[in-house]
Structure 1
Amino acid sequence: MTVKTTLSFTDRHAEFLKSKVEEGVYASTSAAVAAAVEEMIRDEMEREAALNAMADEIRARMATPREEFIDEEEAFSLGDAMLRGPDDE
């Protein structure tokens, strides 16, 4: 289904859309706007997936028993070694 609507753009945005249509990147201004909206939808879905993954990881870590924790020496030793590099050892 297609919905007809009226949109207003700044001169800058209108010129950009017009140039993309003239370059053949998009068939029409409507196609360019639709592509931008699709990208916004994808971005939002990716952001939501990332936030959900972080929330799941936080929940999993919160459920980890204290006896399974590792101390800071063990946690940061690999990172420290990587930052120092082979010549700094």
Structure 2
Amino acid sequence: MNVKNTITLSDRYMRYAEQQVEDGQFPSVEKVVEAGLDELMRSGDGMTQEHHDAVTAMANEINRRLDGPRDKWISMEEDNLFDRVRARIADRQQAK
């Protein structure tokens, strides 16, 4: 069932949608809007495909590193990251 509705798009979005139609990517502006909504629905959390791909790439890199040899890992005892973060937080709190 189709429901007729009227929406207002900014010039930027309308130009983009019309360009997609002119380029033959979509048959109508309506289909461009539907494709955008489909993408949001597929992502389930409102995350764009670009963001989803970036998160997936980061997860893949983390897993790749976890699968690497443990002697290449940075020991928590050798790394002062948390000390640096705590110092930075303390500095910011003192600056307030």
TM category (shorter chain) comes to 0.5 to 0.7
TM-score normalised per structure 2:
0.49
Letter paired with 1:32: V
Give the drift of 1:82: 3.5
Aligned length: 55
Normalized per residue, the structure richer in helix is: 1
Q: Percent identity?
A: 25
Distance 1:42 1:11, change over 3 A: same
Letter paired with 2:40: M
Q: How many angstroms apart in 2 are the aligned matches of 1:16 and 1:2?
A: 24
Give the drift of 1:44: 1.0
Q: Which residue of 2 aligns with 1:81?
A: 71
Larger radius of gyration: 1
Q: How many angstroms apart in 1 are the aligned matches of 2:46 and 2:22?
A: 31
TM-score normalised per structure 1:
0.52
* Structure 2 spans left out of the alignment, 5+ residues: 48-65, 75-96
Q: Which residue of 2 aligns with 1:27?
A: 27
* CA RMSD between the two structures: 2.8
